[in-house]
Amino acid sequence: MGNTYGYIRVSSRDQNEDRQIDAMNQLKIVPKNIYMDKQSGKDFERPEYKKLFKRLKRDDVLYIKSIDRLGRNYEEIQNQWRILTKEKGVDIVVMDMPLLDTRRGKDLMGTFLSDIVLQVLSFVAENERVNIRQRQAEGIAAAKARGIHLGRPPEPLPENFHQVYQKWKSGRITGAEAAKECGMPPTTFRYKAKIYEKATLL
């Protein structure tokens, strides 16, 4: 009998991992054998997953809540699954999908069914990742079209900006001197000056 491990992944620090942790606790997996990453599933360059991968050995069992917690890249999920199950001899249990339990059905038919389910779910996981990116891009484009500024609001110009800008524009001071008077880096001053100039021409 090998050891039992659990792997948890959430896409960002703002997402809640409690559901996955509760599932692992119900299996009574010892805390030191539970690994968690808080980052995207686009690839397997994740620090905790790498540590887990090094520890896994033949006859160990790895639990994940759902296939998209393992990853979201169709080809990489399949490749990682093959390495873990075929090369390292590890069993994988996807808790939300009983058909994806490599401890059962190790005959040809069981392996065939498991491979089909894995391919479908891997495709769905990546398709969702692509759809999320597309929705984000469409949302940003729609917001820009409505004149909504996304991101941090720009800092207000210093009170002396107009006077300093006029002195710089007329050649009485250099850009570096103007930036110093406004308390900002020269590149920032030039950027702000360009925007200011466009605004005054409207």
Identity of the residue numbered 183? G
Gap between the terminal Cα atoms of the chain:
75
Which residues form the catalytic set?
A: 11
DSSP 3-state assignment of 4?
A: strand
Look at 148 and 123; give whichever has higher pLDDT. Answer: 123
What is the reported pLDDT for 58?
92
In the predicted model, is pLDDT for residue 6 greater than 60?
yes
DSSP 14-72: TS--HHHHHHHHHTT--GGGEEEEES--SSS--HHHHHHHHH--TT-EEEESSHHHH-S
Average pLDDT over residues 16-26: 88
- C-alpha distances (whole Å) from 28 to each of 23, 32, 185 are 9, 11, 56
Q: Could you tell me which residues are beta bridge partners of residue 114?
A: none
pLDDT per residue as tens digits for the range 58-87: 999 999 998 888 887 777 888 888 888 888
**pLDDT tens digits, residue range 166-201?**
899 888 999 899 999 988 888 888 888 888 776 655
Instruction: Give per-residue pLDDT as tens, 24-58.
Output: 999 999 999 999 998 887 788 899 999 999 999 99
Share of the chain above pLDDT 90, in %: 28
Q: What does the alpha-carbon distance between residue 191 and residue 90 come to, in Å, rounded to a whole number?
A: 56
Q: Give dist(CA 102, CA 150) in Å, integer.
A: 46
Q: What is the mean pLDDT of the chain?
A: 81
The whole-angstrom separation of Cα 165 and Cα 182 is 9
Supply the pTM of this predicted model: 0.58
Q: Are 62 and 2 in contact (CB under 8 A)?
A: no
Confidence band of 138 (pLDDT split at 50, 70, 90): low
Q: Cα separations (Å) of 81 from 21, 104, 140, 141, 155?
A: 22, 16, 35, 37, 49
Q: How many residues are present in the chain? A: 202
